[in-house]
Chains A and B, each alone.
Chain A
Amino acid sequence: MEPLNLFLKKLRLLVTRKRFGSELDEEMAFHRDQAEREFIDGGMTAEAAKHAAMRQFGNSTRVKEKSHEAVGFSFESVWQDLRYAARQLASNPGFTAVITLTLALSIGANSAIFSVIEGVLLKPLPYPHSEQIVRLFLSSAEYPKFPLNPFDFLDFRARNKSFESMAALTRSDVQLSGSGEPVELSGFEVTSGYFRVLGLKPQLGREFDWNAEIPGNGQQAILSNRLWRTRFDEAKDIVGRKITLNMKAYTVIGVLPPGTDHPGNDYHSLPYGESVDVWRPFEFEGNSSQRGSHYIEGIARLKNGIQPAQANAEMNAMMAQLGREHEGDTGWNVLVIPLYREIVGANQRMLWVLLGAVSMVLLIACANAANLLLARAAARQREVAVRLALGAPRRRLIRQMLTESLLISLLGGGLGALLAEGGVKVLVTLLPAGFPRAHDIHVNALVFAFTFLVAIATGVLFGLAPALQASRTDPKRGLYEGGRSTTGSARQRRLRNGLVISEVGLACVLLIGAGLMLRSFLNQLAISPGFKKDHVLTASLSLPQATYKKDADIARFYDLLMTGLNRVPGVQFAGAGSDLPWTGYDENAGGFTIEGKQPPPHQEFHARYHMATPDYFRALGTPLVRGRFFTEADDQSAPNVLIINQAMGTRYWPNENVVGKRMTFEDKPKDKDWITIVGVVGDVKDKPSSRGAEPAFWFSYRQQANPDMSVAIRSSSDPRLLVDSLRDQVKRLDPSLAVADIRLMDQVADESIATPRFSFFLVGLFAGLAIILAAIGTYGVISYSVSQRIPEFGLRLALGAPPGDVMRLVLSQAARLAITGAVVGVIVALGLARVLQSLMYNVSPTDPLTFTAVGLGVIAIAMIAC
């Protein structure tokens, strides 16, 4: 028979199922009557005949079920199971709610973390064949990851055989003026071929060609789609138009498509994402034999079939050759790093750790659910026995039980998906600033599929053991004992205890993880930053070269601004410096000579290189250790002076008084080229988690002008009140200037420890959830076993046992479980601790304090739960 016809018939029977049932009933009754009559004819009494007929006919319920199965759809029995399961769950709302909610929480947490992993780690980067894109850096023992020299880059590009295309980029923010308020825009100078490497094509116009790299030809700009929309009303004729950047005219030659993501960079970094608005050509100015300065970063696309390691080998050989050609190129290796690793590498481990933590929570929730089901299965033994006695096959019973647990877990999964939807939004706001690909994190179809699979796996995981257990019920015993005195077989008790031990153990692992992260986080909080972060307002300014042509112009502007700001009521100190603490740093500082010292072979002197105004350190609260700060007198006409940090003092002048020592940047210094150290300030690390402070020095801004400075203002009250005054002061001096990055130093400091805080917060949250679940689980098992032993306890009390003894009996059972669990947990945590090593700051991953505290704490909580 053709399948369609069969299907339609089945469908008709499905609709008339009631009639089908009653007709079958009548038919079977007829059959029994006939048999009965035959027995009577054979000489039996009416009574005996009736019983004989019934015995002969056998299990009529089973006959009906089998007849139904013969004509029914296979999903019908599933549907039956589902309805039965739903009734079971509805008749026990407390039980259902507890399991469903704990599962929803843990599945939701898993989905939320998974959606972060999906968005950040699993989703391919938004560039065609992104696996072929690599970043290029130089590397030496002293500088493990260093930018390239422009002329080295030109040689790389000309000589390599491994790359399909290669480009370089360097951060170069610009100020856009002309129509409306001037704005500071994130920008990059890029070589030709940059967009080709990324596989991006301008939506309008074209990208830069080789011509634009020639000095003097670079007055061209490519705009982001966002800038084109918001500032230029999507003008179709934008290509060819002139716009004003840094007070100079640039011709727009292209507009990129929407959602063009910056691949992230290292040096003056901008995170990955849609964060760049203007690209300008990089002009190769200067002397091509000077290979000392490094400030551009390489990015390249591998040829088909070339592996990064092969390309790396070629580049290393090339660099060695360059080292023979140019003195400045000795001692370098080249790093070829896949772009994916560069973008997400640092966060990969943290995310996997989080997923591990959250899946442990889910395992605990599973163990909990299994325990609750086991306890309930004992209560349902009679029901199971009846069904078995009526001829239900064990397979069907197991299926029925699994349907129940799957229904619970899918309910939990559904709720969990809703929770995840909300949780992800919260998570994204909690993510540390600049977290790569944060805007790629969404709850999407893949996340839902993951949730669904997790829910199913969960249901099977926690349902299987109880289902198997229940199906093993002996119908005779089950019916007689009716679930009354089932003290539980030894196997059942072992299973239950095993579940509790693993719950406690897992919770212990999570708590230890959270404890370690907490200690690491507290350590970072407790670091004395080397400055006072409260009451400081910061902002950055960038003076366009077109207007501020001479160093004296720049110095005058900052002079006037500082004088003006210092007069504003509420301002204690106003200063400016080239680099604020903890906001990234300029690595490029070397090649100076210290009077009377020789650097060790192959290690030139080096230090961070900054400029500062007289009140800069006072505004930040960085202490003066020795000597003096800059004064207004340290200008072009005065002898050159320098302030260094303690790290530089101890590195290059150990056990000497540094003030008065001299250094120079000239190869053949005349007397006026020597710079005298006049002060030593306290150390500030590059970022709070750095091992130690790097050597650093500051020029007086009047002797070494820098157009891009960050302003720092220390206020006697709320520094936010000074924002308007700052804007006014800048506007008064130059109305065309944008005030960018207005932030409190508190915020800067806060953002710099956002990652440890984020991971501690989440792991702590999971650990809290875990310990609550484990406490519920322990309580459940103990109270169940107590309820079973009440007659025994009663007997003991009646026979004169003091109540304390009974209490001790119960507690010792709980203690055995809790202690075993804690020991298992501590052992597992010791094994896993190495994974956390790289996420820790100043904490040993086997920190004895954390381990002991958590172990005891877990045992205590388990005891209290009883």
Chain B
Amino acid sequence: MAKKPDLLPGTLDMLILKTLTRAPLHGYGIALSIKRLSDDVLTVEEGSLYPALQRLLLQGWVKAEWKMTETNRRARFYTLTAAGRKQLGVELSQFEQMIAAIGRVLQDAQEA
């Protein structure tokens, strides 16, 4: 099996926050959602997901509450907070700047 590409470093928080803009999700849901939306290209390692969620909780960018799932099981659902939305904006614009910068470098390399 070919190894899947790793997440770009520093993008996990952004992806989690973005995923939560649609609806509150539990950890498994977040991992699943990222996997599906990226057409199975991006896999979030559980080993990174849960520590990241704790970090976001601590920063106050998401909040968590225990709710029942459709299958009637207790799960912890994460909701984006106002601060989280703001942070997402910051991270998105930083990310776009970076992509644009990388793009320019690559472009230049091609032309040369």
Contacts and interface: CB of A to CB of B under 8 A. Distances in A.
Interface string A54-97: 00111100110011011100000000000000000000000000
Contacts of A810: none
A6 interface: yes
A24 B54 CA distance: 10
Contact of B47 (A6, A13, A58): A58
Contacts, number: 66
A58 B51 CA distance: 14
B8 interface: no
Interface stretch (B15-23, B68-76, B89-97, B102-110): B68-76
B58 interface: yes
B24 interface: no
B85 to A, nearest CB: 15
A31 interface: yes
Contact of B75 (A9, A30, A66): A30
A25 to B, nearest CB: 11
Given A13-B58, A27-B76, A34 B28 contact: yes
B45 interface: yes
Contacts of B66: 23
A71 B28 contact: no
Given A23-B76, A27-B27, A27-B75, A71 B47 contact: no
Contact of B28 (A23, A31, A70): A31
A30 B60 contact: no
A667 interface: no
B52 A58 contact: no
A66 B47 CA distance: 8
Contacts of A5: 60
A35 B28 contact: yes
A63 B46 contact: yes
Contacts of B73: 30, 33
Contacts of B27: 27, 30-31
Contacts of B46: 28, 31, 56-58, 63
A9 B28 contact: no
A26 interface: yes
Interface string B30-57: 0100000000000001111011111101
A1 interface: yes
Given A30-B26, A30-B75, A1 B50 contact: no
Interface string A345-371: 000000000000000000000000000
User: How many B residues touch the partner, as a band?
Assistant: 20 to 34
Given A10-B58, A58-B45, A63 B51 contact: yes
B32 to A, nearest CB: 8
A28 B50 contact: yes
B54 A70 contact: yes
B92 to A, nearest CB: 19
B11 interface: no
B87 to A, nearest CB: 10
Contact of B50 (A13, A33, A34, A63): A63
Interface of B is mostly: helix
Contacts of A10: 58
Nearest to A57: B46
A6 B57 CA distance: 11
B57 to A, nearest CB: 7
A62 B53 CA distance: 15
Contacts of A56: 46
Interface string A35-68: 1000000000000000000001111001100110
A688 B74 CA distance: 92
A26 B50 contact: no
Contacts of A23: 66, 76
Nearest to A13: B58
Nearest to A28: B50
A6 B58 contact: yes
A5 to B, nearest CB: 8
Contacts of A69: 51
A57 B58 CA distance: 23
B76 A71 contact: no
B59 A1 contact: yes
A346 B53 CA distance: 69
A765 to B, nearest CB: 55
Nearest to B43: A56
B67 to A, nearest CB: 12
Contacts of A71: 54-55, 57-58
By CB atoms of chain B within 10 A, which of A23, A24, A59 has the most? A24
A557 B26 CA distance: 111
Contacts of A26: 74, 76
A30 B51 contact: no
Given A30-B73, A30-B75, A31-B27, A70 B60 contact: no
Contacts of A6: 58-59
B88 to A, nearest CB: 15
A27 B50 contact: yes
Nearest to B71: A37
B50 A67 contact: yes
A1 B82 CA distance: 13
Interface string A812-847: 000000000000000000000000000000000000
CB-CB nearest 6 A-B residue pairs: A66-B51, A70-B51, A34-B28, A70-B54, A70-B55, A31-B28
6 contacts: A6-B58, A30-B26, A31-B46, A34-B28, A66-B51, A71-B55
Interface of B: 26-28, 31, 45-48, 50-55, 57-60, 66, 73-76, 83
Interface of A: 1, 5-6, 9-10, 13, 23-24, 26-28, 30-31, 33-35, 56-59, 62-63, 66-67, 69-71
Given A6-B58, A6-B59, A70-B54, 18 more contacts: A1-B83, A9-B58, A26-B76, A27-B26, A27-B75, A35-B28, A56-B46, A57-B46, A58-B46, A58-B47, A63-B46, A66-B47, A66-B51, A67-B53, A67-B54, A70-B51, A71-B55, A71-B58
